[in-house]
Structure 1
Amino acid sequence: MQSHPNVRAVQEALDAAGALDGAGRPSAVRLLPEAVHTAAAAAEALGVGVGAIANSLVFAADDAPLLVLTSGAHRVDTAGLAASLGVTHLRRATPEFVRQHTGQVIGGVAPIGHPAPLRTLVDTALERYDEVWAAGGVPRAVFPTTYAELLRITAGIPAEVA
């Protein structure tokens, strides 16, 4: 599984960015024993609070891709987010749309390692955690990082999304 193209792409992006984990070490993709498709399942597998999971949610914002990295502890307020972004339609993307723009499947979408950079918002609620965990390109892969690193490596914009 470490040789899966999506996992390799995420690790290469982490390496190229010099991404660090919460302890200041180089961030590395880790494989879990089983796939985790929800923030709660990932938190349980990692032994962390669900709020420390950075969900990668892809939306169609007036048909353009938008990646929202949100704390697993809450849901995105799509109406409020659409209003703050000034978009007419903000809807959860279809699996096909997600794969087209990220090269990854729902449940394993990483914040990085996509064919092209995506406009990215990073939930400010993630800032309260010393270390956060994000998907690593497939549903069994995750990597540790920090809120500040997520902003830096994704060129993300801090946002209140709930």
Structure 2
Amino acid sequence: MANTSHPAVDRVVEALELQGLSPEIVWFDDAVTTARLAADALGVEVGQIANSLVFALDGEPILVLTSGAHRVDTGWLGAQLGGVLGRASKDAVKEATGQVIGGVAPVGHPGPLRTLVDVDLDRYDQIWAAAGHAKTVFPTTFAELVRITGGTPHAVVPPSEAGAETPE
């Protein structure tokens, strides 16, 4: 595995350190831009990967940290949140997070970002999140992810689909 540095990763490390954490950033030789690629590279279940996805809720950016085991049901979740939820453009993602799609971390953003944390991630003792670059991840826990993001635990798929793995 490669060992290098990147400004977005440095911002993530700084944000984690401000939360009292000493993160172990894992650098891969190649980009791991999907939950399956990250899980395979780490030797863990795909559900242990916390995908950081930026959506637009009635035009406002919202970060959804979802288990890699399923896809966010935007129609269902939007209705739960009382609005219309859709994918944010790559430019909106970069503006909201300071990071690019494929490496968006749960922290290290230029400003506060409303965050939901998929309750399905609570099934795992350890989960992995991107660290600001497509070649990086760091280990965490559900409780720690909620704490460091100030996020709200929330289902992101209907209860009948929770815990069910979706093929990529």
**What's the TM-score, normalizing by structure 1?**
0.93
**Is the Cα–Cα contact under 8 Å of residues 14 and 28 in structure 1 kept in the other structure?**
no
2:121 aligns with 126
**Is the Cα–Cα contact under 8 Å of residues 135 and 141 in structure 1 kept in the other structure?**
yes
Cα distance in structure 2, aligned partners of 1:2 and 1:120: 28
Q: What does 1:82-97 align with in structure 2 at a 5 Å threshold?
A: 82-87=78-83, 89-97=84-92
- Amino acid of the residue matched to residue 92 of structure 2? F
1:30 aligns with 26
Cα distance in structure 2, aligned partners of 1:97 and 1:30: 27
- Amino acid of the residue matched to residue 86 of structure 1? G
Give how far 1:143 is off.
0.4
| RMSD of equivalent CA atoms | 1.0
2:63 aligns with 67
Cα distance in structure 1, aligned partners of 2:145 and 2:62: 15
1:14 aligns with 16
Name the SS for the 1:6 alignment partner.
Answer: helix
Aligned residues: 155
- Amino acid of the residue matched to residue 53 of structure 2? L
Structure 1 residue ranges (4+ consecutive) displaced by more than 2 angstroms after TM superposition: none
Identity %: 60
2:47 aligns with 51
**Is the Cα–Cα contact under 8 Å of residues 2 and 8 in structure 1 kept in the other structure?**
no
Cα distance in structure 1, aligned partners of 2:32 and 2:23: 20
1:3 aligns with 5
* Pair 1:78 & 2:80 matched: no
In structure 1, list runs of 5 or more residues that go unmatched: 20-25
Of residues 147, 151, 160, the one that matches 1:152 is 147
**What's the TM-score, normalizing by structure 2?**
0.90
- Amino acid of the residue matched to residue 6 of structure 1? A
In structure 2, list runs of 5 or more residues that go unmatched: 158-168
- Amino acid of the residue matched to residue 5 of structure 1? P
